Structure 1
Amino acid sequence: MFTSWLPFEWIVSIRFLREGRLQTVFIIAGVAIGVGVIVFMSALLAGLQSNFIRRVLSTQSHIQLLQPQQVTRPQRNGSDAPKGQLEGAIIQPPLQQAKSIDQWQAVVSQVRALPGIKVVSPVASGSVLAVRGSATKAVTVSGIEPDTYFRIVDFSDKLVRGSLRLTGSDILIGTELSNDLGVDVGDKLHVTAANGSTSALTITGIFDLGNKGANQRSTFTTLRMAQSLLDMSGGVTSVEVTVNDIYAAEVMAQRIAAATGVEADSWIKNSAQFFAAVSAQTTANTAIRFFVGLSVAFGIASVLVVSVVQKSREIGILRAMGISRSQILRVFLLQGGLLGFGGSLVGCAIGATALSLWQKLARNADGTPLFPLEFDPQLFALALVLATLTGLLAAYAPALRAARLDPVVAIRG
């Protein structure tokens, strides 16, 4: 027998499982289905969330640093007025104008030194008029440092024509703006700011951000050119930041605001409804896994309870032969662990097959995958470990009952 070299508890556990083949097959099938559902749903929802977040964050930073807004402070009346009385019942806030972040170079250096920060890039942006012949369009020009900004927003897969080259007099525009003004790569585009500054910029690339409004309004040039156009004298209107953990963006934003004194808005705060939807999906996924795992645990426990009843006489004989209670306990714990492990192996195979079929069958109208799925080895390893632990925990109560059986009573039936 191939089990001759195994410890005693393993030999008895395997023998009990063999004798109840039908029960063993059914419980392994139940565990496999449960694990398969958990693996499939976890990978599916993870891929869906990753796709949503990728679409939302592909054109923006995780955290945006801004100059604090200007506020109006009410003034008190003269000394003859009642103490604490304020002048004026209505206080109008001032017009918010584009203003450079105070000592932004020091802010950038300070933020880059913080742990968890990935990329920091200054941006100078403002409204200008794009002029081509008799056609004009109000657009937003963003002055960037290409080396750092393109690490935040990856334009390599958004570029339609031309190149991402940005020198002193170059500009990148969206596809909609290109169509509206009738311009293409290599053409000159005259840009006029509110202060009267005008520059003729060469279109080096045309991009598609996946949003019609953004393609109509967004343009990019060098940081120095934007500063010159907007008369900012070396200033920047924002500092774009990406972090290693996107779900910790709000915590990092609060930490940055406390350390630097600037206003820090995270994508979680700016997209509160979207983040709430993502959190709801995560909660639903956790609930599904919990209840499926609970059903698997009850299935294993019920089978082992029946096994204890059926094997009472054998357990009594084993106890009369000198087998200790701890060994009997380990016999049934091993059965639970083996059922959980065996079912999880089959379940992982079922989950992987279902994910492969989903990728092949779930397609967009153009034939591309609906959204990418990742076969994360950690997910399968975690499913194996959790299913085995669930089997052990589910087997504890029946194992304890078996260990407490009185040998004489068990043998008499």
Structure 2
Amino acid sequence: MKHFFGRLWIEWTIAISFLREGRAQSIMITVGVAVGVAVIVFVTALMQGLQSNIIQRTLGTQAHIRLLSPDDVNQIIAPAAGTLQLLQEDKRPQRLRSINNWQQITATLDQLPLLTAVSPVVSGPAFAQRGDALESVALVGIDVERYQKIIPLKEYLISGQLRVGADEVLIGSQLAEDLGVQVGSKLRLDTGQQNSAVVNIAGIFELGVRELDARYVYLDLKQAQSLLSLPGGVTVIDLTVADIFEAENVAAQVGRLTSLQAESWIKTNAQLMNAISAQSLSTSMIIVFVAISVAFGIASVLLVSVVQRTREIGILRATGATRQQILRIFLFQGAMFGLLGSVLGSVASYALVWVFNNFGPGLFYIPVSIDLIMLALLLAILTGVLAAAIPARRAAALDPVEAIRHV
């Protein structure tokens, strides 16, 4: 073992000596590798931060999974045997209806380890009126304690208190502006079913989505049930999961378990997921092209080094160096280019991220994980070794006699 490492030490020393002799070339290719690694780390971290921000903003205002009653369908009588039946079917209008046995379903879902929160909700259309101002709104009846685990409404409050019940409601900032109301103002809610109520505005929230801020009115679950003529019923059961990217699979399992219609955020935000996939693909292509450029740079420098040091290689072979040793000398050079370049590139990328996070536009935060740095480090070293393979094989294949005669 000691003899083995001793031989490697000799090859390592010769590799460093070759790099020192071509110092200008070594510095240039190391800087090139560093730039490549910095681009890979920074762009990858930037895309990860952007995607995380988009997903966080999207899921900050909606549940991961929504359970609804199955759609009403027409019951068609089968034709008699031996007869042909021609039908023109019109789909049935979907009425506001409650989920059957929602209490038992909620209790069952509370026990599932795949779910982190379960919240029954009753929602439906209504009109909000103050004086001559009239706006179409969506009533959302909630159990505050449960719903807070789905959407942290307290974090979105811009005025007032998180309080629903006893004729107190929360409304969006855009709706408050449209109606000209503020915390403490009164509002009439009318569902058009001869049900109406005058409520006090306990708080105003801003979810960051204009449509939601202009329409949502949060109120107590029981009051919403009364206004929407659904006594004791709920229209939706909102769920959250630990792994957001497993929401579609969990939705399928929950749908089979409850016989309800399960919609995951992935399905309802298909365009967003397509955009994220496209971003990931573009990032991967950038990484591949940068890695190829770095590999060509390392390979070209080492090929020139082989030509310049043909005589030295011949002398080494004549003094007993094996082909494998010559091969390892140039592979070590490639690995050193990758190692030094990746270290410098990682430092540079971290500096770029720090500048972006502290002096950038402040749109989102870019995290840099140690896993990403280590991956870039390994990628650079592997690229360096692979790029050095062809020059190394060429050097190892040189005939010592012909190499010594080389001028």
Change (3 A) 1:332 1:118: farther
Q: Is 1:187 matched up with 2:180?
A: no
1:301 matched residue in structure 2: 299
Query: Are the aligned partners of 2:141 and 2:225 in contact in 1 as well (CA < 8 Å)?
Result: yes
Write out aligned runs for 1:136-175 (5 A). Answer: 136-175=134-173
AA of the residue aligned to 1:412 = R
Deviations 1:261-310 (A, max 9, x none): 22122222222222212211111111011110111112112222222232
Alignment equivalent of 1:41, drawn from 34, 40, 43: 43
1:401 matched residue in structure 2: 394
Q: Is 1:276 matched up with 2:274?
A: yes
- The offset of 1:165, in angstroms, is 2.3
| Separation of aligned partners in 1, 2:223 and 2:319 | 92
1:387 matched residue in structure 2: 380
| Separation of aligned partners in 2, 1:289 and 1:225 | 55
| Separation of aligned partners in 1, 2:317 and 2:164 | 83
| Separation of aligned partners in 2, 1:399 and 1:74 | 77
2:223 matched residue in structure 1: 225
- Larger mean Cα displacement after TM superposition, 294-303 or 239-248: 239-248
Query: Are the aligned partners of 2:165 and 2:223 in contact in 1 as well (CA < 8 Å)?
Result: no
SS at match of 1:97: coil
1:202 matched residue in structure 2: 200
SS at match of 2:99: coil
Query: Are the aligned partners of 2:122 and 2:224 in contact in 1 as well (CA < 8 Å)?
Result: yes
AA of the residue aligned to 2:22 = G
| Separation of aligned partners in 1, 2:396 and 2:109 | 61
Return 5+ residue gaps in structure 1 as ranges.
364-368
Change (3 A) 1:27 1:112: farther
How big is the alpha-carbon RMSD for the aligned residues of Structure 1 and Structure 2?
Answer: 2.6
- Larger mean Cα displacement after TM superposition, 35-44 or 238-247: 238-247
| Separation of aligned partners in 2, 1:301 and 1:118 | 52
2:85 matched residue in structure 1: 86
Alignment equivalent of 1:373, drawn from 363, 366, 382: 366
AA of the residue aligned to 1:86 = Q
- The offset of 1:109, in angstroms, is 4.4
- The offset of 1:332, in angstroms, is 1.7
Q: Is 1:60 matched up with 2:70?
A: no
SS at match of 1:156: helix
AA of the residue aligned to 1:393 = L
Query: Are the aligned partners of 1:75 and 1:86 in contact in 2 as well (CA < 8 Å)?
Result: no
Tell me the TM-score normalised to structure 2 length. 0.89
Deviations 1:191-237 (A, max 9, x none): 33344334443321111222333222101122232223323233221
| Separation of aligned partners in 2, 1:37 and 1:280 | 19
- The offset of 1:14, in angstroms, is 0.9
* Identity across the alignment (%): 45
Q: Is 1:411 matched up with 2:393?
A: no
SS at match of 2:154: coil
Deviations 1:100-126 (A, max 9, x none): 223334433444555543322221111
- The offset of 1:21, in angstroms, is 0.7
| Separation of aligned partners in 1, 2:52 and 2:302 | 40
1:7 matched residue in structure 2: 9
| Separation of aligned partners in 2, 1:12 and 1:112 | 66
- The offset of 1:322, in angstroms, is 2.8
Alignment equivalent of 2:22, drawn from 20, 23, 26: 20
Write out aligned runs for 1:325-404 (5 A). Answer: 325-359=323-357, 362-363=360-361, 369-404=362-397
Tell me the TM-score normalised to structure 1 length. 0.88
| Separation of aligned partners in 2, 1:306 and 1:113 | 67
2:3 matched residue in structure 1: none
Return 5+ residue gaps in structure 2 as ranges.
1-5
Change (3 A) 1:335 1:106: farther
AA of the residue aligned to 1:378 = D
SS at match of 2:135: strand
